Amino acid sequence: MILVLQILLCIIIAILNYAFLTKEKEKHTYMIYSPYSIALDSVLVFCTYIVLINTMIPISLIVSIEIVKMSQSYFIEKDQLMFSDFRKKYCNVRSASLNEELGQIEYVFTDKTGTLTMNLMEFKIAVIGSKMYGDLGLIIKDPKRPPQ
């Protein structure tokens, strides 16, 4: 629709340029005109305005994307599967770009028993790359430390 509107605007501008040059060119001798014929000049005006008005499409797409993000955040907040029985609350979207950030999850920490427990996890140890985080005593054998 936006492309059709853009082409229509350029056609109207080219027609108005043609009408102006055929009727008013002799009255306005102080203006510098194209050395081409009036028809060719109108085609050049059409092409010039296609280039000038082409920013309408990206700007309208940005507006459309923001409307989609807003509607997706509404549906995320109203999703029944996102309801927490423990907190008695629904998900709360505080950023319009939340749906884009959800696809960037790289690490998921789980205890493998989430279906049998309340899924409340306690961080013990993690190895990321070559660096170790957490209580290293869990893997280092210390005869003085009692087993857990």
Give the pLDDT confidence of 116-144 residue by residue, as tens digits: 556 567 788 888 888 888 887 777 766 66
Whether residue 91 contacts residue 77, with contact meaning beta carbons closer than 8 Å, is answered with: yes
Given this model, what pLDDT does residue 14 score?
A: 94
Per-domain residue ranges of the chain: 2-54, 61-136
Range of lowest pLDDT (13-17, 63-67, 77-81, 100-104): 100-104
Given this model, what pLDDT does residue 91 score?
A: 85
The answer to whether residue 28 scores a pLDDT higher than 60 is: yes
Residue 105 phi, psi dihedral angles, 5° rounding = -70, 125
The answer to whether residue 95 scores a pLDDT higher than 90 is: no
Given this model, what pLDDT does residue 9 score?
A: 94
27 DSSP 8-state letter: T
> Of 42 and 96, which is predicted with more confidence?
42
Per-residue burial over 5-15, b if 16 or more Cβ lie within 10 Å, else e, is ebeeebeebbe
Interior angle at CA 93, CA 90 and CA 98, nearest 5: 130
CA distance 90 to 80: 8
Catalytic residue among 41, 79, 85, 111: 111
Given this model, what pLDDT does residue 81 score?
A: 87
For the question of residue 142 being annotated catalytic, the response is no
The model's pTM is 0.42
